[in-house]
Structure formats: C-alpha cells, structure tokens
Amino acid sequence: MEDKAIELASRAQLRLTALCVAALNLNIPAASPARRAAIYHDQALMRGYCDNKGKLRLSALARDISARYDGFDGHELKERLLSTPHHPMRWLGDLFSRPERSLHPICHLLLIEHLWGKLYLFKEDLEAAGESNRAGGGDALSSDECPESHCLDRAVFLNDVSLSCRAVADLIGVSVNTVVLHRKRNLMLVNVRPKKIRPEVTQEIMRELFNGKTAEEISQLLNISPASIHRIRAVEAPVLRKIADIHKEKRRSVSRSAWLSLLRRDQDIGKARASHQGLYAWLYRNDLEWLLSANSNYARKRVVQPRLDWGARDHELCLIAAKYVGQKLTDSTRKRMSRSALRRHLGEARI
C-alpha cells in the first residue's frame, strides 16, 4: 500500500474540537437573543472588556480571542471567523448589538469559552437569569414559552398611538425605522420627520425614484441619507407602482403608433427595425404579443422549394450512364472503362 502523509492537527484545532464536543454534551438551554446578549455584556464588563461608560472594547476582545486560538490557523472556518479584513472578527459586535442575527454556533462558543473559561459556568449563569425572570414576572416581549402572546403584545404596542415610535421600539426590541414604517403603511399618525424631509423634498425624491435613480445617487444629489430615501420608497411603493403603470401605458400607446408608421413607410420589418432598434427592443420586451400581430401583415412569405424526386433523379442518371456505356462499347479504340471515368462523365456534384 502506498504510504500517505498524515496531517497532524494543531493545538488550536484540537481546542476547538474539544469545545464543540463539550457543548454538545452539556445541553445548554435555549434563551432569547436579548437575554443572551445581556449576559454576554455583563460578563464582558466583569472581565474588563468595557470602558468606564460601559461601552464594549471589541478590538481588545477580538485580539484576545484570536490569540487564544493561534489565529485559527489550520481551521476550515478561519477566513469566516477572521472576516472582514477592515474589521477583523466583525461578528463579535453582532453578538452584543444584533442578537437576533443568525451566526454560526462556533461564534457563540468562542466568546463563551473566552469570557467564562468553562461552558458549564455560562450554563449556570444562563439558568440563574432565567429563574430570576420567571420570579419577577418574566419578560413578556422575549418569552420563549409563549410565542403567540409575544406576537400579540408586539401588535398591541405597534398600534398604540399613545406611545411614541421610539418607546415602542425600546419595548419590542426593534429599530425606530421599523416602527415608523409599520405605522405609515397602516395609515397611522406619525410625527413629522426632521425639517430636512419636507413635503417638497419627498416629492423630489419620488420624482427621482421614478426616473430610475438609485438611493445612493439621490442621496448625493439632495444631501439626504440613503436610509431616509429607502424609507420613503418603502412607504410610497404603491404610489410609485401606480405612476409607473400609467406612464408605461402611455409609452405603449405612443410606441405602437410609431411602429405602425414605420411599417407603412418601409413596408419591410427588417428595414424598420434597423432604423429604430430601441423602439423595436422596447416593444419586444413589453408588448410582444401585439408586436408579433402587427408584424404578421408585413412578414415576408417563405418561398418553399419543391422537394427533389430522388427516384426520378436516379432514373435520369442511369439512362445517361447506360447511353454513355453503350457508346463506349462500340468504340474499338476505347481505354479501360472505370467507375471514376463514368462518374466524371455524369458530374461528381450530382452523385
């Protein structure tokens, strides 16, 4: 048998493997994302990864975790764990600030193992936090036991106009923009945005959106954040679609008349198409059925050539060949008669 080289696992690979096995055997209970992020932050504060104002020092935390596992050398998830190049281990910030985001389980395990040292210590803190929530009445908005009541409470808060959008966002754990968008779509009263988003500015944004410009282009043109433009586009989407349909119908009518005029003038589809390629392309993409119907009156008739009667052709060639052979047989000075000579007499292109 041919010997094969065996690649030995590095120390970091072995530690990661042992960590995953320990997590599977420990059976850590499920927790809401908000509760889990709060426990992460409290432990990071205790370990000295927060400044005096409680702000997380992500760069220091990322550096220490990476050093703990030798920069993840040899691990198949190395590129994913170290991304992005400009913000190494960017996922660490999401574990704290965006707990709802789905991340690879190993991201959680790396953070837990670094902050607690042992997974069972994190499990004990998680269970203790769950017991305190139940003793104090629990958190109705992040309850894992009753998802239906959770959704019901969210709807109640979203539709309660006595609460501000920011207050509702803090209660249900979403962004203020999400609450504003929900209320505007349901035609609920929402306080006017800052002075920069005036009605005339909104109309200008709508006009540029309809003309096909992107949010980034409009942002540079009007000096407004792309987020504001995305929000206006989401709220006014039905109006934009209705305006687009009206303009499309007008263009369809004008394009049809122009194409019929070209056909009557040129009496040839190819010539008309060559002179106005853009018009033909628009009709082909947006009004194909009508275009084919209009072109049918000017389409060139296909000239169907009669099919060749192979039997008659063979009979004709045989007669010519027989006549030629008869003449050659009466010639006493003839040379040897071959198939090639006979084929040349008949014409090779016809055989």
Nearest of 120, 104, 125 to residue 40 by alpha carbon: 125
Q: Write out pLDDT tens, residues 242-264.
A: 877 888 888 899 999 999 999 98
Inter-residue contact 78 to 66 (CB < 8 Å): no
Other C-beta atoms within 10 Å of 165: how many? 20
- pLDDT at site 6: 42
Q: Write out pLDDT tens, residues 298-308.
A: 877 677 777 87
- pLDDT at site 12: 64
Chunked into runs of 10 residues, the chain (351 residues) has average pLDDT values of 48 72 77 84 80 78 82 75 78 85 84 83 76 46 41 68 80 77 75 66 83 82 82 78 82 92 88 91 92 85 76 85 86 80 73 60
Q: How far is CA 27 from CA 22, 104, 293, 329, 333, in A?
A: 9, 17, 68, 105, 109
- pLDDT at site 289: 92
Give the integer Cα–Cα distance in Å for 175 and 154.
Answer: 13
Reported as half-sphere exposure (CB side, CA atoms, 13 A), residue 339 has a value of 1
Nearest of 179, 163, 132, 150 to residue 38 by alpha carbon: 132
- pLDDT at site 11: 66
Inter-residue contact 235 to 185 (CB < 8 Å): yes
- pLDDT at site 135: 46
